């Protein structure tokens, strides 16, 4: 199967031929924990779920924050894996290796926790229940003003120092962001 392997350390995208078996992803990432992100139309991004705790290099594929090496595989309408169909030039054009200081600082703090950036949780906006994840919270606070970004980093740092529930803090920060959005 034709797919793309991305190495952010070398800023390298390589088209590779891989045979997908039960243990292929685990072998590729040398990990039993794999994150799946359906961020590219008709494709899935696979990444090592341990990349945060191992402080792997962050980067963006489109608006999707990814940590460490990733594998881009095509996905058919039945959710089955197939050859990647996105042209390499198109993939290269949506990859951004520049990550803000806020992201770097927060990811370093979060690396001390067991939080998963992509695990969904629920917040409320009026009568509506909305599913979000930690990655969305980081994006929201990254685009906020400096004072708000600093508040987020300080509260996160305090929660980690006190061994508080960081996942709950993230949910609270998400709720604050939703409340501020009106």
As a whole number of angstroms, the distance between CA 179 and CA 47 comes to: 32
The last residue of one of the domains, among 81, 96, 111, is 96
Answer whether residue 39 shows pLDDT above 90: no
Instruction: Kindly calculate the radius of gyration of the chain based on its CA atoms and give it in whole angstroms.
Output: 17
% helix, strand, coil for the chain, step of 5 = 35, 30, 35
Model pLDDT for residues 75-97, shown as the tens digit of each residue: 888 877 889 999 999 999 999 99
The last residue of one of the domains, among 96, 115, 137, is 96
Local confidence band at 24 (pLDDT 50, 70, 90 cut-offs): confident
Structure confidence at residue 87 (pLDDT): 94
Indicate if 50 and 107 belong to the same structural domain: no
Structure confidence at residue 19 (pLDDT): 83
Q: Does 44 or 148 have the greater pLDDT score?
A: 148
Indicate if 91 and 110 belong to the same structural domain: no
Residue found by looking up tokens 């969904």 in the block: 120
- Average pLDDT over the chain, rounded to an integer: 92
Domain tally, the chain: 2
Indicate if 88 and 6 belong to the same structural domain: yes
Indicate if 44 and 114 belong to the same structural domain: no
Which range of residues forms the domain containing residue 110? 101-180
Indicate if 19 and 92 belong to the same structural domain: yes
Indicate if 64 and 129 belong to the same structural domain: no
The last residue of one of the domains, among 96, 124, 150, is 96
* pTM beyond 0.85, yes or no: yes
As a whole number of angstroms, the distance between CA 71 and CA 78 comes to: 20
Indicate if 106 and 56 belong to the same structural domain: no
Indicate if 175 and 92 belong to the same structural domain: no
Are 25 and 71 within 8 A, CB to CB? yes
Indicate if 116 and 88 belong to the same structural domain: no
Indicate if 86 and 161 belong to the same structural domain: no
Local confidence band at 131 (pLDDT 50, 70, 90 cut-offs): very high
Structure confidence at residue 56 (pLDDT): 97
Indicate if 87 and 121 belong to the same structural domain: no
DSSP string of the chain, one letter each residue:
-EEEEEETTTTEEEEEE----TTHHHHHHT-S-EEEE--STTEEEEEETTTTTTTPPEEEETTEEEES-EEEEEE-TTS-EE---S-HHHHHHHEE----HHHHHHHHHHTTS---TT-EEEEEETTEEEEEEHHHHHHHHHTS-HHHHHHHHHHHHHHHHTT--HHHHHHHHHHHHHHHT-
Q: Does 1 or 109 have the greater pLDDT score?
A: 109
Residue found by looking up tokens 């891989």 in the block: 18
Indicate if 8 and 91 belong to the same structural domain: yes
Structure confidence at residue 27 (pLDDT): 78
């Amino acid at each position: 199967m034709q797919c793309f392997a991305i190495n952010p350390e070398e800023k390298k995208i390589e088209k590779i031929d891989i045979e997908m078996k039960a243990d292929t992803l685990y072998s590729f990432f040398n990990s039993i924990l794999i994150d799946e992100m359906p961020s590219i139309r008709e494709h899935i991004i696979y990444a090592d779920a341990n990349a945060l705790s191992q402080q792997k290099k962050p980067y963006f594929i489109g608006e999707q924050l990814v940590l460490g090496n990733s594998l881009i595989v095509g996905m058919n309408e039945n959710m089955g894996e197939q050859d990647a169909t996105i042209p390499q030039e198109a993939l290269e054009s949506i990859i951004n290796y520049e990550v803000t200081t806020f992201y770097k600082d927060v990811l370093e703090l979060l690396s001390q926790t067991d939080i998963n950036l992509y695990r969904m949780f629920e917040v409320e906006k009026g009568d509506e229940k909305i599913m979000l994840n930690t990655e969305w919270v980081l994006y929201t606070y990254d685009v906020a003003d400096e004072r708000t970004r600093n508040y987020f980093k300080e509260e996160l740092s305090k929660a980690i120092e006190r061994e508080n529930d960081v996942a709950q803090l993230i949910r609270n920060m998400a709720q604050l962001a939703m409340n501020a959005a009106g």
